[in-house]
């Protein structure tokens, strides 16, 4: 099986990698690029733990082939905030205790950022529908939604 | 299936030749939301990515109607107000598929080519008399969408063929459509029954043309001319709607599984036919 050579951009950094034709973008991020922020929950598009953006569109990286990243712009949780200064969405997740085990959190952060870029003033219902593809087994979602609504408010204030 | 070869085609001609020349089974890769899951087996396949071909990803509206690139992500279709204005039922069917993340990849053409009995967009396409433009080694051919799917997961496409466009004629004045499905949850689920309806009303509110299609209650989505006949000539009064519902119920041949029984699915497909016709009529009246 011939490996595929891919030139792409990850969080704005030009990136090259080799992958098997069947490797998913999730496999590549975690195993080739050592970017383990993106999580694997199901591998079948159901849980949203692997959420990333491809050319600014929110997708499940487990349903994208690594080879498809050629010439695209990939955005992962590693591109949102850093250890010294968290993104306001991340701060609000901490403040509202919107996580327990944390496996769903990177996906939720990426999805929340995509939501608020598309719709800076979502209603609670809109936020719940938009994030319905991000499953969380721990929190019961209420704290997540509170964090999202609070983050939306403070991002509107800052804009 | 396991993907052992990946090629991105730059043109429709190149895609056709890549599909045709492959010595192992070759599959078209659009959004991959079905294909990548199905490819978790052992048999080697080649995939041909067609998303770099502009015409596969766009949608244009002109005097004749809509030409939809089969691989346009449903999320993008949903943001197209011009398409929504003409075919609100088709857009709502596309929008029902999966989560926001899945919406970013899945497409109407992918939904059609995957050919699941429960595909949401197929009844909506049938209600709108969509035509499938297929390019293959022998040139181009056009197939009515109700003839495209031939069985569970099967369709009329031969080796080397590619669905290149979906054409929907511009709706006549006083025409609109609707699609409804039943699922046990509020979203992110697969239809237990679905109905797509398009109606045309004259100035007096009489139905002059209609198309009714039902999904998830037979091996393929079905066009139900008897249901349309029940609506045509009526003002979509209760009696006409009941007759259309009965026609859908009679034409359905669902199975019992853990998602619903035969009796339940038959009942629901009748109710959905009635409600979708009512919504399509409201839209046709501009309400
Ligand atoms: S790992 Fe991709 S959706 Fe669950
Ligand atoms: S915090 Fe554990 S799954 Fe969400």
- Inter-chain CB proximity A57 and B73 less than 8 Å: yes
Residues A86-110: tens digit of each pLDDT: 999 999 999 999 999 999 999 999 9
The pLDDT of residue A119: 97
CATH of domain B175-284: 3.30.390.50
Tell me the per-residue pLDDT of B220-259, one tens digit each, with 9 for 90 and over. Answer: 999 999 999 999 999 999 999 999 999 999 999 999 998 8
Could you give the percent of chain A with pLDDT greater than 90?
Answer: 96
Listed by start position, the domains of chain A span 4-79, 88-158
> Taking CB atoms and an 8 Å cut-off, how many pairs form between chains A and B?
85
Domain A4-79 has CATH 3.10.20.30: yes
Spatial contact of A93 and A99, defined as CB atoms under 8 Å apart: yes
Residue B184 has a pLDDT of 84
CATH number of A88-158: 1.10.150.120
Report which DSSP code applies to B10: S
How far is B126 from B124, CA to CA, in rounded Å?
5
Residue extent(s) of CATH 3.30.465.10 domains in chain B:
54-169
Determine which helix (DSSP H) or strand (DSSP E) holds B66, and give its type and residue range.
Answer: strand B65-68
- CATH 3.30.390.50 residue spans of chain B: 175-284
Task: For residue A40, give both structure tokens.
Answer: 């694997």
How many CB atoms are located within 10 Å of the residue A80 CB? 18
CB-based contact B6 A130, cutoff 8 Å: no
Interface of A with B (CB under 8 A): 1-2, 4, 21-22, 24, 44-45, 48, 51, 54, 57-60, 62-65, 67-68, 70, 111, 114-115, 129-134
Q: How confident is the model at residue B190 (pLDDT cuts 50, 70, 90)?
A: confident
Q: What φ, ψ does residue B218 adopt, rounded to 5°?
A: -165, 170
Tell me what pLDDT residue B150 has. Answer: 97
> Encoding tokens for residue A140?
């019961």
| Interatomic CA distance for residues B178 and B218, integer angstroms | 20
Binding site membership of A116 for ligand 2 (Cβ less than 6 Å):
no
The pLDDT of residue B116:
94
Looking at the CA of A25, name the nearest ligand: 1
The 10s digit of each residue's pLDDT in B33-91 is 999 988 877 799 999 999 999 999 999 999 999 999 999 999 999 999 999 999 999 99
pLDDT reported for residue A1: 63
Look at residue B92 in the predicted model and tell me its pLDDT: 95
B51 SS3 class: coil
Would you identify the CATH topology of the domain B54-169? 3.30.465
What gap in Å lies between CA B49 and CA B18, rounded to an integer?
Answer: 10
Percent pLDDT > 90 in chain B is 92
Contact call for residues B154 and B115 (beta carbons, < 8 A): yes
Residue B41 confidence (pLDDT): 78
């Amino acid at each position: 099986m011939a490996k595929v050579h891919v030139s792409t951009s990850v969080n704005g950094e030009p990136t090259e990698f080799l992958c098997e034709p069947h490797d998913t973008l999730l496999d590549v991020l975690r195993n080739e690029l050592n970017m383990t922020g993106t999580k694997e929950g199901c591998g079948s598009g159901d849980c949203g733990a692997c959420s990333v953006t491809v050319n600014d569109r929110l997708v499940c990286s487990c349903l994208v082939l690594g080879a498809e990243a050629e010439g695209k712009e990939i955005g992962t949780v590693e591109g949102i905030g850093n250890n010294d200064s968290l993104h306001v969405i991340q701060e609000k997740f901490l403040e509202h205790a919107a996580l327990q085990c944390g496996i769903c959190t990177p996906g939720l952060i990426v999805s929340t950022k995509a939501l608020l870029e598309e719709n800076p003033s979502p209603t609670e219902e809109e936020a719940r529908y938009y994030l319905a593809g991000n499953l969380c087994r721990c929190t019961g979602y209420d704290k997540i939604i509170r964090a999202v609504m609070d983050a939306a408010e403070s991002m509107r204030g800052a804009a | 299936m396991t993907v052992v070869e990946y090629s991105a085609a730059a043109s429709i001609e190149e895609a056709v030749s890549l599909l045709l020349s492959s010595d192992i089974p070759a599959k078209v890769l659009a959004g991959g939301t079905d294909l990548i899951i199905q490819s978790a087996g052992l048999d080697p396949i080649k995939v041909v990515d067609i998303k770099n071909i502009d015409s596969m990803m766009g949608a244009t509206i002109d005097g004749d109607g809509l030409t939809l690139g089969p691989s346009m992500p449903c999320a993008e279709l949903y943001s197209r107000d011009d398409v929504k204005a003409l075919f609100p039922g088709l857009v709502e069917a596309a929008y029902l598929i999966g989560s926001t993340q899945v919406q970013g990849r899945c497409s109407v053409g992918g939904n059609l080519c995957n050919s699941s009995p429960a595909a949401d967009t197929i009844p909506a396409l049938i209600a709108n008399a969509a035509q499938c433009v297929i390019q293959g080694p022998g040139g181009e051919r056009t197939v009515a969408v109700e003839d495209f799917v031939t069985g569970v997961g099967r369709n009329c496409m031969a080796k080397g063929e590619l669905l290149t466009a979906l054409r929907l004629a511009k709706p006549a004045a006083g025409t609109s459509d609707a699609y409804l499905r039943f699922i046990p949850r509020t979203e992110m689920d697969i239809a237990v029954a679905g109905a797509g309806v398009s109606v045309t009303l004259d100035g007096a509110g009489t139905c002059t043309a209609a198309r009714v299609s039902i999904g998830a209650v037979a091996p393929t989505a079905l066009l139900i001319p008897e249901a349309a006949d029940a609506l045509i000539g009526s003002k979509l009064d209760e009696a006409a709607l009941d007759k259309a519902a009965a026609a859908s119920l009679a034409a359905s041949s669902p199975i019992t599984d853990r998602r619903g029984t035969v009796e339940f699915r038959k009942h629901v497909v009748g109710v959905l036919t009635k409600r979708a016709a009512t919504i399509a009529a409201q839209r046709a009246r501009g309400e």
